[in-house]
Chains A and B, each alone.
Chain A
Amino acid sequence: MLKFIHAADIHLDSPLLKLDAYEGAPTGEIRGATRRAFENLVQTAINEKVAFVLIAGDVYDGDWKDYNTGLYFVSRMGRLREAGIPVFIVAGNHDAASTITKSLRLPENVHVFPADRPATLRLDGMDVAVHGQSFGTPAVKTDLARSYPPAVPGCFNVGLLHTCATGREGHEPYAPCTLETLREKGYDYWALGHVHRREVLLEDPPVVFAGNIQGRHARETGPKGCVLVSVDDAGRPNLDFRPLDVVRWEAAAVDVAGAENGHDLLDRFRETLSKHLELNPDVLTVLRVTLQGETAAHDEIMSDPERWTNEIRATVVDEAGERAWVEKVKLRTQPPPAGDRKLDGAVGELLALVDELAGDSEALGSLSSELADLEKKLPREFKEAAEGWRPDDPRWLKGLLAEAKPMLVRRLLQGRGDE
């Protein structure tokens, strides 16, 4: 029985994004995550005694310039060579952009498809034909699949392709192709790369995005890994997903509707947390926590977001120890609907002013002048990366204003009314 692994989008050494280490955070557990995931890939191939490994592009991250990454890749390929496992690779857009690939000498068990034309590689002693074409430049806009050779009769035919398929949100529209084109080739399996979310586009023949092997930011959630394909004697491929990731990103949305106070809210969070921990017992889970819903505790938490962010982090440290990390806490709660009575007096004036500002984008813009000093000081990579910093965006300013309002009211009326 033929067995092989289909992986893609390894992005070796690209860092996990914006994990701010806080007191008690398991910093040791997130180090070198992409390498450790890749290690898992190699070990899985050896353990499963697969016939070959397919990598459908993006071994490297495009703008990553450390040649050590390439050397590390070569050393891991060396282990597969020792185990007698050949590797077939098509270069993806990131590989094409990478300076590392240019001069790297790969061991003889690694076969990289040419970029100028599609090629077919045969595996010694087995009726397997692998078809593929690498990206020559970072942005390939043509349909590469169209010119792939026809299936080799009597062989198990595999198509290896880096593509956006029919287009996927959040991914560059490179080497687009249609399922029709792919099906017409008559191959037995299409191993696709580029799109980081795992997806089976077609059942027969299987057209599969393996997804990346390690999530790198809050939007790449859930288990990540490779597809182990077993071809039975009738030539039918069976797909088995194998998680490889060591750090798993999850969106923890906590519905706090109706929570009476901050402590209720923490209880709700604790429930959500334990669900996630149950779901992912073996890997470190990185949570983006979003609190949402109408709650009487809105003013309480919004008046001191730092404190409640830290409360949530502390809860995670207490409950999960080294097993979870809070990437970010988004407070998206709403106050319960208030009567439409207009308040008079000085505080009423303040509230009215906030509402007025929120509805006036010009006034909002003028508020951003308060941030000009900081804006000047912040480095470029921060501004590129930070979702939480858009001083020129009135919507962002409006959000801030909404958060500032309860904080201000609480400070003014602090400690009154409930002595």
Chain B
Amino acid sequence: MKILTLDLIAFGPFTGTILDLSAGAEGLHIVYGPNEAGKSSALRAVRQLLYGIPERSKDDFVHPFSRMRIGGKLRSAEGEVLEVVRRKGRGGTLRSADDKTAVEESEVERFLNGIDAGLFAVMFGIGYEDLVAGGREIVRGGGEIGRLIFAAGSGVADLGAVAEGLQTEADALFRPSGQKQKINEAVGRLKQRRAELKEAQLPGQDWVRHDRALQEAVEVKALKEAEFAEARRSLSRLQRIKEAHPVIAGRRETLKALETVAGAVLLPEGFAERRSDALTRLRVAQTERNLATANLAGLSKAVSELEDPSGLLGQAEAVEGVHQDLGSQRKAARDRIALETRRNTLRTEARQVLRNLRADLALEDAEKLRIRKPEAVRIQDLGAEYERIVTRIDGTREKALELQQAHAAAASRLESLPKLRPVEELRRRLAEAEEKLPLEKQLAAVRAQAGELLQVCSRSRVRLGLTAAAPEELICLPAPSLETLRLCEDRWEGLERRLASLAEEVRKTEVELAETDRRMEETRLAQEVPTEADLAVVRDARDWGWRLIRRKLQDEDVGETEVVEFIAGCPGAGSLPDAFESGLRKSDEVSDRLRREADRVASKARLLADQAALRIRLAALRGENMGAQAEKEAAAAEWADVWRPLGVAPRSPREMRQWLSDFKALVDRAGEALKRAVEAGALAEEVDGCRAALGLGLQALSEPVAAEEALSAMVRRARKLVEKEDGIGRQVEELARERERLAGELESARSRLDTLEEDHRRWQRQWEQAVQPLGLGAGTRPAEAGAVMEELKSFFDKLREAEVLQQRIEGIDRDAAAFRAKVAALSNAVAPDLAGRPAEEAAGELQRRLTTGREAQSKRQALQKQIGQEQARLSEAEIAVAEIEGRLQAMCAEAGCKSSDELPEAERRSTRRRQLEDRLRQEEERLLLLGGGSTVAEFIREASAVDPDGITGEIEKLKEEIERLTAEKSELDQRIGSERTELGRMDGGDKAALIAEEIQGIIGGLEQDAEHYARLKIASRVLAMAMERFREKSQGPILKKASGLFSRITCESFEGLRADQDPDGNPVLVGVRKGETETVPVEGMSDGTADQLYLALRLAGLEHYLDANEPLPFIVDDILIKFDNDRAAAALQALAELSKKTQVIFFTHHRHLPDMAQKLIAPELLVIHELGV
């Protein structure tokens, strides 16, 4: 098959790009496209034309899926041609060349030798990546021939990876000695679960065994329980009897003892205690009585032995008074010494002060020195006045000095001021100039307005296209009137409207005509409708035939050339009758069709008529249009004439209406400008006059005047001059005033100083007088006089204090004499033995004796109180003794005794009787308890029947029995418990069932994995077998071809290829160096060489295929990018060689490749295409 054209109608970046691949026998077509030219899209288009556009196509970036189209024309080896369009979709994507009629997919498949899309891509396509993958695969596979041949024959570059992939996947599922593979792992799990299942299943006999054991144990336990109860009962009875035996014996004893105290009186409770209490209390009362009597005797004796201090006690108050005075006497004596010392000290100090003041005077004469109060006050007042006077004199002197200096300074400043100039004339002229000053501003404004107006005029003029420049000229220009304008405008508009309506009519008619044409075309496309003319033609032909036949039938002479001509007019006819028949049939057909399609014929006729009418109308309209145009041009010429005088080329009247109004405005502005210029001249004259006057004033003061100076500047300068002179005048006045004021003040300060000095002299006289009494001279300062006065005051203070102390010492001496007289008088009265003792000692002794007397007095009173108490105690004891003796007599009567001595015996017997009766009752109660329901008498009889000696043995035996039974029972309980537990575990649970389910799950999974494993293994095996078989069949021819190609592509760097054996004896492919016997294993080849080896193998495989099969185009995608130039050239030549057998379409981005090809390859083999969107 060969692709004749590839029509990229709407695909990828292409719209309507056609690749003409028809040239050459088969042809090497190099399709060059720079980046972005759509090379890849074109490459895809080749395949997708044949096999359909995939669901998720990327080539929709310009044309959406629904619009995508690839067209193509194919030619089979037999020369059959098919033209199809491929669209994108889910089914029925193939259409005929008109993109309408569906075409069966099988139509294209017939061209494809049963090669499907995948196989086509692999076998009949090679790209750069395939080349690299193939080269790598060769090196990796170590040149294993089977693989290489298969790869060459199939185009599968990564055959090794496929084979290994199968093995790897199978290995992941299962390995004979593995553990972790999916299947190995599942088998392991299955075994484990099987063991668990066995463990979890409960065998039936187990349950039965445990159930039976439980039943037995329960029964035996019931028996043992009964035995146990009986033994417990017997034991209890014997234990009771054994316990009762001693009680029965005791009871007998009690009864016997009771007989001995049968007659005893039963005394009430507490009798003995009462008796014993009475006796005790009697003894206590008797003892009390004796003690009181003895005490009374002792106390009376003590009272009689005490002495009587009543005399001293009578003078107690006097003694205490003396004793109190004693303290103050002692203190006064101590004070007197201190007072004496102080007095002496003061006198000595006074003497010293006096010595300092007046050494000539004795202490006694000191009174002369005392000054009177008024004198002292006067001295103090004068001291104060002195300070005041001195201060004022100092202040006034300083002030006078300051005033004198200020006066001198004012005078010198007045001297230094400049001379005043006369400015009155200038002041007057300045006032006049200031009045005229606004005129200058007005002048500037008028001039600016005039300038502005002129500028506007000039701009408008240029815009209006006028040549006249000056305003005076503009005013005079002859513009057309508004009326003229209106008339022209009406005429223009009328013409425009007519032209527009004609154009619209022409357009409508053209549309109508196009629509009629389209409908005609539609009718024609639907099927050519025959016309009456067609019928006439075929009828003529038929009639001609008939005429020929008729002539023949009538044996008339018929020209052979005419017959031949007639027959030639009927294709397919061999003879005259045939041709006539064909003509007859045709005419019938046409007339039939005319009849059958009368409607369509009629409509076609109608359309034809419409078409003609429309064409005529169109021509008329066009003529009219031309007339209107000419009229319009004439009007335009007239219009231009109107404007010629102005020198203006007019536009349309409507536009010129605006022009005219603009022109009027321009003329107005020009007039205004002229008016402003006149105004400016008048103003300028006035201002200049004013300037000259002011200039004269300035010159008078010898100020310079410039001709160009503006009036406002001159005014400013004159004003500044006048102000400056005024300032100097004011300063002179002020300084003169200041100087006069200072002279006045200085005068008054000097007179005040004189007055103060007179005051000072007066004070000096008074002061001399005042300090004389102090013995001080006139030069004494007020402070010195103050100090002397202070000394004198201190001297007289000390003298007065010494006098006070002297008076107090004399008082103390008087008090001491009075005390001594008082003590002597008291001693004489109460203690003559003390006469002659010092007063203080006597007073102390008297006090001591008073204290002793008082103590004896209180002791006597205490003894007499004790005597009273003892007498009361004695009488109480005597009453108690009598009462107790009466009570004892009553108790004797109760107990039937004569005296109280007999009472204890009576009490003992009573108690004994009571005790025995209690014991008997207890014993009988005990027996009743032990009797277990029997009466005491019955139980005693029953117990007596049992031999006391044998009873212990019986009891021991029973106890042993019970122990044995208890152990047996416990053992049975355990057995029952364990059996119940066992049975409880067999609870009908579903553990085993769940494990069985799990096992089923594992088997289910295992089944799927095993199946998958089997598929992989079988696939792997089949692939190996296929490789081997293909190698056997094709190794020879493919290797031979590949060898030649390899040598060629490597530029004979290698001589070829050879089958060899590797060290393990496996058949491998090796390269053979040129002219040598040396071979190069594939591992020893560079990457590039390995790629070239792969290319050689692929081309060889393809050629081998083509030897026996119809060709299909071989699509090559830029495989030479890594080849050096020589090898690329060689490879291109190899491809050119291949293109003799099948079409080769080589896509490339590289400009040099088509150039190179053009140089190397015969033009009849090579076609270069350039892609551009």
Which A residues are closer than 8 A to B by beta carbons?
A: 13-21, 30-32, 34-35, 64-75, 99-100, 102-105, 260-261, 305-306, 309, 327-328, 338-339, 341-347, 349-350, 353-354, 357, 367, 370-371, 373-374, 376-379, 381-382, 385-389, 391, 397, 400-401, 403-405, 407-414, 416-419
Query: Which of A30, A75, A371, A391 has most chain B Cβ within 10 Å?
Result: A371
Q: Which residues 991-1020 of B have a CB within 8 angstroms of A? A: 991-994, 996-997, 999-1008, 1010-1020
Min distance, Cβ B805 to any Cβ of chain A, angstroms: 130
Contact residue among A68, A100, A382 (Cβ-Cβ distance under 8 Å from B190): A382
Q: In whole angstroms, what is the CA distance A232 to B156 when docked?
A: 79
B1011 pairs with A20, CB closer than 8 A? no
User: Knowing A346-B1026, A374-B183 touch, does A408 contact B54 (C-beta < 8 A)?
Assistant: no
Q: In whole angstroms, what is the CA distance A376 to B123 when docked?
A: 41
Q: List 23 A-B contacts (CB under 8 A).
A: A20-B1002, A21-B1005, A31-B997, A67-B206, A68-B992, A71-B207, A71-B988, A345-B153, A345-B1101, A346-B1101, A357-B1022, A373-B174, A376-B176, A378-B1010, A379-B191, A381-B190, A382-B1006, A385-B1003, A386-B1006, A387-B1007, A404-B1022, A408-B1019, A413-B121
A18 pairs with B174, CB closer than 8 A? no
A35 pairs with B1023, CB closer than 8 A? no
Contact residue among A13, A35, A103, A347 (Cβ-Cβ distance under 8 Å from B123): A347
A-B Cβ contacts below 8 A, count: 269
Q: Specify the chain B residue showing the minimal Cβ separation from A72.
A: B988
Min distance, Cβ A326 to any Cβ of chain B, angstroms: 11
B204 pairs with A104, CB closer than 8 A? yes
B187 beta carbon closer than 8 Å to chain A? yes
Could you say which residues of chain B place their CB within 8 Å of the CB of A385? 1000, 1003, 1007
A407 pairs with B1015, CB closer than 8 A? yes
A339 pairs with B114, CB closer than 8 A? yes
B51 pairs with A381, CB closer than 8 A? no
Contact residue among A18, A71, A404, A409 (Cβ-Cβ distance under 8 Å from B1015): A404
Q: In whole angstroms, what is the CA distance A190 to B1013 when docked?
A: 51
Min distance, Cβ B1017 to any Cβ of chain A, angstroms: 4
B326 beta carbon closer than 8 Å to chain A? no
Could you say which residues of chain B place their CB within 8 Å of the CB of A20? 1001-1002, 1004-1005, 1007-1008
Could you say which residues of chain B place their CB within 8 Å of the CB of A13? 990, 992-993, 996
A346 pairs with B154, CB closer than 8 A? yes
Q: Specify the chain A residue showing the minimal Cβ separation from B153.
A: A346
A71 pairs with B987, CB closer than 8 A? yes
Min distance, Cβ A91 to any Cβ of chain B, angstroms: 15
B1033 beta carbon closer than 8 Å to chain A? yes
B44 beta carbon closer than 8 Å to chain A? yes
B744 beta carbon closer than 8 Å to chain A? no
User: Knowing A72-B990, A306-B1012, A411-B166 touch, does A382 contact B204 (C-beta < 8 A)?
Assistant: no
Contact residue among A21, A67, A309 (Cβ-Cβ distance under 8 Å from B207): A67
Min distance, Cβ A89 to any Cβ of chain B, angstroms: 17
Min distance, Cβ B201 to any Cβ of chain A, angstroms: 4
A386 pairs with B1029, CB closer than 8 A? no
Min distance, Cβ A167 to any Cβ of chain B, angstroms: 29
Q: In whole angstroms, what is the CA distance A343 to B1022 when docked?
A: 17
B122 pairs with A32, CB closer than 8 A? no
Q: Specify the chain A residue showing the minimal Cβ separation from B1018.
A: A404
Q: In whole angstroms, what is the CA distance A354 to B1014 when docked?
A: 15
Min distance, Cβ A314 to any Cβ of chain B, angstroms: 15
Could you say which residues of chain A place their CB within 8 Å of the CB of B1011? 388-389, 400
B858 beta carbon closer than 8 Å to chain A? no
Q: Which residues 148-184 of B have a CB within 8 angstroms of A? A: 149-154, 156, 159, 162, 165-166, 174, 176, 183-184
Q: Specify the chain A residue showing the minimal Cβ separation from B206.
A: A67
Contact residue among B165, B992, B1018 (Cβ-Cβ distance under 8 Å from A66): B992
Q: In whole angstroms, what is the CA distance A21 to B1025 when docked?
A: 37
Q: In whole angstroms, what is the CA distance A70 to B1014 when docked?
A: 42
Query: Which of B51, B151, B991, B1023 has most chain A Cβ within 10 Å?
Result: B1023
A417 pairs with B120, CB closer than 8 A? yes
B1160 beta carbon closer than 8 Å to chain A? no
Could you say which residues of chain A place their CB within 8 Å of the CB of B90? 260
Contact residue among B44, B986, B996 (Cβ-Cβ distance under 8 Å from A419): B44
Could you say which residues of chain B place their CB within 8 Å of the CB of A411? 162, 165-166, 1019
B1004 pairs with A70, CB closer than 8 A? no
B1022 pairs with A309, CB closer than 8 A? no
User: Knowing A15-B993, A67-B203, A382-B1006 touch, does A416 contact B122 (C-beta < 8 A)?
Assistant: yes
Contact residue among B121, B151, B1000, B1021 (Cβ-Cβ distance under 8 Å from A416): B121
B311 beta carbon closer than 8 Å to chain A? no
Could you say which residues of chain A place their CB within 8 Å of the CB of B54? 418
Min distance, Cβ A15 to any Cβ of chain B, angstroms: 4
Q: Which 8 A-B pairs have the closest CB atoms?
A: A346-B153, A20-B1004, A413-B118, A18-B1004, A72-B988, A346-B154, A71-B988, A417-B117
